[in-house]
Amino acid sequence: MSGRRMTDRGMTETGPGGRGMGGRGRSGGAPKDPSPRRSLALFRAFLREQEDPDACYALLARDAADQVEAYGGPVAGRVVVDVGGGSGHFTEEFRRRGADAFLFEPDVRELAEKPPEGTVVADGYLLPLCDGAADVTFSSNVLEHVADPQTFLSELARVTTPGGLIYVSFTNWFSPWGGHEWAPWHYLGAERARARYRRRTGRPAKHTLGENLFPVHIGTTLRQVRGRADVRIVSARSRYWPFLTETVVKVPGLREFATWNLLLILRRCPE
Ligand SMILES: C[S@@+](CC[C@H](N)C(=O)[O-])C[C@H]1O[C@@H](n2cnc3c(N)ncnc32)[C@H](O)[C@@H]1O
């Protein structure tokens, strides 16, 4: 892999809308983050996900890439590693912005018909990368699908260069979307929700609790991440909310229901 180190470029440490946006995000990406217009656009895209997955994930990818650039500066020329990237929309978007981006995905069924060139079939627990290989490590909605999130985070930190950015987002268990395709019935118990899904659709649900979906909580995750020596939290916020994105995450109890999806922007230590 090639690409200059993010630290060589003097990474910015601004939030959304700050200097780090680098212009590209606003003009070529989704609407301003956070804003009601953006949240509405994302919500509409989610509602049409089954009908038009490409449009939905292309918008989500532009939005997420804008967020990465907002916190870390332009990705052009940098090495971006997309772990558990599924169909590869995020990798493609980072490439469009000039990054040396690579998709690492363990499940070939998740790949698109034509995955991005150079895609690696690999597990996030054991990435075939040397220490510090990536300027940006990106993982969108994967953490709730691994049995051991802390080991998964350790591997993301290992492959990120000191001072590099780690983007991790996940849907927590008590989020209204925590049960994924069987939400919001997970509030009544996973088994019941799964059985209901099968009755209603006539097909088995994709996710089974304890197999490929795990109950991840915001409070526990924050405590564990704060206790780590290999990363520092730059921002812990709601990924999709239109306002109070960091405030909602500070309120124990409420955050488990109201955050929807936690976005952790981490910096690899030592910086
Ligand atoms: C909900 S999909 C998210 C796909 C994509 N990142 C997105 O945000 O649309 C979860 C992904 O996590 C992947 N995954 C599950 N376990 C993983 C692991 N141990 N390492 C890396 N990826 C994993 C799955 O194969 C799947 O592609």
Check pLDDT > 80 for residue 6.
Answer: no
Give the lowest-confidence range in 28-32, 57-61, 66-70, 165-169: 28-32
Atom 20 in ligand 1: which residue has the minimum CA distance? 124
Separation of CA 179 and ligand 1 centre (Å): 15
- How far CA 89 is from CA of 61, 101, 126, 146, 254, in Å, comes to 6, 11, 22, 21, 32
Separation of CA 128 and ligand 1 centre (Å): 17
Q: Tell me the percentage of the chain whose pLDDT exceeds 90.
A: 88
What's the whole-model pTM score? Answer: 0.92
Determine contact, residues 267/166, Cβ cutoff 8 Å: yes
Residue 185 inside a domain? The answer is: no
Give the lowest-confidence range in 19-33, 62-76, 115-129, 137-151: 19-33
Closest ligand 1 atom to 169 CA: 8
Residue 138 inside a domain? The answer is: yes
Atom 27 in ligand 1: which residue has the minimum CA distance? 86
Atom 14 in ligand 1: which residue has the minimum CA distance? 84
Separation of CA 144 and ligand 1 centre (Å): 9
Mutation test residue for ligand 1: of 142, 144, 156, 208, the one with most atoms within 8 Å of CB: 142
Check pLDDT > 80 for residue 15.
Answer: no
Determine contact, residues 141/261, Cβ cutoff 8 Å: yes
- Give the number of domains in the chain: 1
pLDDT at 28: 57
Residue 94 inside a domain? The answer is: yes
pLDDT tens string 202-251:
999 999 999 999 999 999 999 999 999 999 999 999 999 999 999 999 99
pLDDT at 264: 99
Residues with CB under 6 A from ligand 1: 83-86, 105-107, 110, 123-125, 140-142, 145-146
pLDDT tens string 121-179:
999 999 999 999 999 999 999 999 999 999 999 999 999 999 999 999 999 999 999 99
Residue 231 inside a domain? The answer is: yes
The candidate with the shortest Cα–Cα distance to 12, out of 82, 69, 94, 78, is: 69
Residue 180 inside a domain? The answer is: no
Residue 16 inside a domain? The answer is: no
Residue 73 inside a domain? The answer is: yes
Residue 84 inside a domain? The answer is: yes
CATH code for the domain in which residue 53 is found: 3.40.50.150
pLDDT tens string 173-187:
999 999 999 999 999
Average pLDDT over residues 20-27: 41
Q: Tell me the percentage of the chain whose pLDDT exceeds 70.
A: 89
Residue-range definition of the domain harbouring residue 129: 36-173+214-268
Closest ligand 1 atom to 139 CA: 6
pLDDT at 102: 98
Separation of CA 8 and ligand 1 centre (Å): 30
Determine contact, residues 166/156, Cβ cutoff 8 Å: yes
Quote the CA–CA distance of 140 and 168 in Å, as a whole number.
6
Separation of CA 37 and ligand 1 centre (Å): 28
Q: Is the link from the previous residue into 34 a cis peptide, with omega within 30 of 0?
A: yes
Atom 10 in ligand 1: which residue has the minimum CA distance? 142
pLDDT at 25: 42
